[in-house]
Amino acid sequence: MAVKVGIVGAGGMADYHCTGFRNAGADVIALADMAGERARAYAASRSIPKVYDTLGAMIAGEPELQAVSVITPNKFHKQLVLEALEAGKHVFCEKPPALNAAEMAEMAEAVKKSGKVLMFDFNNRARPESQAMARYIKDGKVGRINSAQASWIRRAGIPGFGGWFTTKALSGGGPVIDLVHMIDLALYFMDYPEPAWVLASTFYDFMDNPAFKGPWGMPDTAGGVTDVESACHAFLTFKSGQSLIIRNSWAEMNERELVSVVFQGQKAGGKVERLFGIDGIDATCIDSCRLYLEENGNQVNQDIITEKDETMGRTKTAANFIETIEGKAKPLNTPDQALRLMHIIDGIYESAASKKPVEIK
Ligand SMILES: NC(=O)c1ccc[n+]([C@@H]2O[C@H](COP(=O)([O-])OP(=O)(O)OC[C@H]3O[C@@H](n4cnc5c(N)ncnc54)[C@H](O)[C@@H]3O)[C@@H](O)[C@H]2O)c1
């Protein structure tokens, strides 16, 4: 029997969720969004039979519903995830998991009680390059990863001014929390070690300059709030002695948009990278995956050629959620990892605010 899924939020990611769920054989039976017009238009375009205003109404109206995906602004993730879990549904939620670690801890507790699946859309883990690299790491070719650098650097990519993305109370923060993917990917490659200390700086330049707006995101909101960082640089250590450097920006004087995880292992180094075209659109990017080795006394660079995935792993992650519910696959990410990630993000913001190193407990 096909898993019955309902989507909450007709945002830009809904299409990837819908396609991924259907690719895995699930039925997308309903959509909930209070923006009636947008929701009805989207549902009609993807033949989703029912539209509701709220998650509560969808749960009440669809007794067969087994799983819910949450694609709303970050502020609403926790309450919707808890509501769905309490109603006995499996949940797939967009990234970031929540506004902070305290919210994520509530979700982690709730999912344990429910016995259901809770996954987040850390879609970059499902990219073919990432999975190819993860396989080399798992097979022992890289050895222990001593150090890594996670970067999602936009030169001019503020996702609109004054909307929910730039309002800390609704988003939780700027590029640290929005472009969290490479931090998560580096931690995934490093096997999610226990963090020890973080030292971070955040910067707020260009947050009122239209020349630094990206080609994606939302229309500007006149009189809206813009109180999140435009860039962050951080150094993180782990109890194991490993370390991670983080660079995330929406707006910073860099050469171009660059998205990568680079690491140095005890047997080999490596890099997973996405170079965006000048327009910053996924379809024009160049993805690569490379290992740095020593063989027969020679220094060797090894390119790993993988299939192209313009969805950046988004449809594969949604499909993995369905396969996990069905017991056909292991989840690509877990609530415990999401909690560790949110503790790191809290530590980054705390260190930047206090201008001191912060111990992550
Ligand atoms: N994985 C990725 O690559 C990726 C990319 C972009 C956005 N996102 C994430 O997707 C989420 C949504 O972002 P977006 O850009 O699509 O936002 P958006 O504002 O374009 O769309 C959100 C939709 O949710 C609806 N909504 C809000 N609160 C709701 C509620 N309580 N119940 C029902 N519907 C509600 C809104 O009416 C709106 O239609 C965010 O968490 C964002 O971080 C992820």
> 50-52 and 27-32: which strand pairing?
parallel
Closest CA to 348 of 126, 150, 209: 150
Rounded to an integer, the average pLDDT of 102-115 is 98
The mean pLDDT of 328-356, rounded to a whole number, is 98
270: left (phi over 0), alpha (psi -120 to 50) or beta: beta
Number of the ligand 1 atom closest to the C-alpha atom of 79: 31
Residue 45 has pLDDT above 70, yes or no: yes
Which whole number is the average pLDDT over 247-272?
A: 95
At 266, give phi and psi (nearest 5°): -75, -20
Question: Which of ligand 1's atoms lies nearest the C-alpha of 53?
Answer: 33
Residue 192 pLDDT greater than 80, yes or no: yes
DSSP 194-242: PEEEEEEEEE-TTTT-GGGB-SSS----TT----S-SEEEEEEEETTS-
Residue range 254-268: average pLDDT? 94
> Which two tokens mark 84?
């769905």
- Residue 206 Cβ inside 6 Å of ligand 1? The answer reads no
The pLDDT assigned to 2 comes to 97
- Give me the pLDDT at residue 216, please: 77
Give yes or no for residue 184 CB within 6 A of ligand 1: no
77-107 pLDDT tens trace: 999 999 999 999 999 999 999 999 999 999 9
In the prediction, which pLDDT does 342 show?
98
pLDDT, residue 286, reads 86
Q: Check: CB of residue 116 under 8 Å from CB of residue 201.
A: no
pLDDT value for 63 = 98
Ligand 1 pocket test: pick from 94, 120, 216, 342 the residue with the most ligand atoms within 8 Å of its Cβ: 94
**Confidence check: pLDDT of 356 > 90:** yes
Angle among Cα 314, 318, 320 to the nearest 5 degrees reads 115
Is the distance from CB of 129 to CB of 104 less than 8 angstroms?
no
Quick one: average pLDDT of 232-254? 97
Confidence of residue 241 (pLDDT cuts 50, 70, 90): very high
172 residue type, one letter: G
226 vs 283, residue with greater confidence: 226
pLDDT exceeds cutoff 70 at 312 = yes
Neighbours of 26 (CB within 10 A): 23
Per the CB < 8 A criterion, the answer to whether 315 and 84 are in contact is no
Angle at the Cα of 34 from the Cα atoms of 281 and 179, rounded to 5 degrees:
30
Which range, of 35-39, 187-191, 316-320, averages the lowest pLDDT? Answer: 35-39
Q: Are strands 258-265 and 145-153 parallel, antiparallel or unpaired?
A: antiparallel
**Closest residue CA from atom 20 of ligand 1:** 11
CA-proximal residue: ligand 1, atom 16 (nearest):
11
**Confidence at residue 284, expressed as pLDDT on a 0 to 100 scale:** 74
Mean pLDDT of 290-295: 98
Whether the CB-CB separation of 208 and 230 falls below 8 Å is answered with: no
The CB of 183 under 6 Å from ligand 1? The reply is: no
pLDDT for 249 equals 98
Q: Look at the alpha carbons of 164, 215, 38, 50 in this order and tell me if their dihedral is positive or negative.
A: negative
Q: What is the mean pLDDT of the chain?
A: 96
Q: What is the pLDDT of residue 280?
A: 64
Rounded Cα–Cα distance for residues 27 and 4 (Å): 5
